[in-house]
Amino acid sequence: MIALAPFVIAACGGDDVAGSDPDADPGAPDAAPSPYGCIGQAHPTTAPAQITVAGISNEISTSGQVPLGTVAITVNDADDDTEIGTATSDMTSGVYTVTVDTGGAPVDGYLHATHNSYKETYVYPPAPLAADQASVPVLLVSNTVFPFLPIIADAAQDAANGFLGVLVSDCMGNPVSGATVTSSAAEAVRYIEGTSIGDATVTTTDDSGIAILFNVTPGAAVSFDASTPDHEFEAGTVEVRADVVTTTVIAPGPIPGLAP
């Protein structure tokens, strides 16, 4: 069986994943974080002059994630696709680090990863990058494995359309179970169940928080949303390209220590 659970975990992680509670006393730094305390909070408007985006490039195999070296990784400006940082992952460990000049403002960008015999991968954060990102996984799937994904999910996937993986996250960067993901651009939405993909009867995320959108109409601003019975999430928008893998994150608001 193809180990799919980690496939679309694309959160741009940092060192501090604590949430914040708007009702907490600002003079009490040890106040307990709230999974939905970021709702309604403003996103950062400034950033350090330079930030680093680092992580590991992994192959999704039948046994899970395996480090994949010599992956060409770029950070690109989402406005015009200009490369603003480049790196090649380590041959053995798959570790990579990209340094990006920000000009003092959050970077509205994405990661692009390429490797021979693997689908191109695009990784979009949930918001412009305003701080260092220490643990951004870049996950690639081989051209051999990719055709099996729609078969497992009982969903169509045409080469002319896109493939989008969405991680539903709370304000602390934790996956959210019981969430429904929607997009008018997707022909089918399926949800990870353990180590595989559920069929059309599965309508919410499990503990992985992962939804996979098949046959997504390509476009520069493909929108998607998520909700649980108790909470709405900030609607997301990413560019979806044909016949590649795109991953992203949707959250209720700014994620302290993440992106941003």
pLDDT at 61: 72
Q: DSSP string of 87-131?
A: EE--TTT-EEEEEEE-TTS-B-EEEEEE-TTB--EEE--SS-B-S
Spatial neighbors of 78 by CB under 8 A, at least 6 apart, are: 108, 109, 110, 124, 239
In DSSP terms, which residues pair with 86 in a beta bridge? 74
Residue 253 neighbours by CB distance under 10 Å: 22
Tokens of 227: 């909700």
How far apart are the C-alpha atoms of 248 and 122, rounded to whole Å? 9
pLDDT at 19: 38
pLDDT at 196: 86
Half-sphere exposure in the Cβ direction for 90 (13 Å, CA): 10
pLDDT at 65: 84
DSSP-derived pairing of the beta strands 180-182 and 121-123:
unpaired
Half-sphere exposure in the Cβ direction for 14 (13 Å, CA): 19
Element (H, E) at 187: strand 186-193
In DSSP terms, which residues pair with 180 in a beta bridge? 227
In DSSP terms, which residues pair with 122 in a beta bridge? 112, 246
Spatial neighbors of 156 by CB under 8 A, at least 6 apart, are: 150, 187, 188, 214, 215
The architecture that CATH gives domain 50-250 is: Sandwich (2.60)
Instruction: Please list the pLDDT of the chain residue by residue as tens digits (260 residues).
Output: 455 544 544 444 444 433 344 444 444 444 556 899 999 999 999 999 999 999 999 998 766 789 999 999 999 999 999 999 999 999 999 999 999 999 999 999 999 999 999 999 999 999 999 999 988 989 999 999 999 999 999 999 999 999 999 999 999 999 999 999 999 999 999 999 988 899 999 999 999 999 999 999 999 999 999 999 999 999 999 999 999 999 999 999 998 755 43
pLDDT at 17: 37
pLDDT at 125: 93
pLDDT at 135: 86
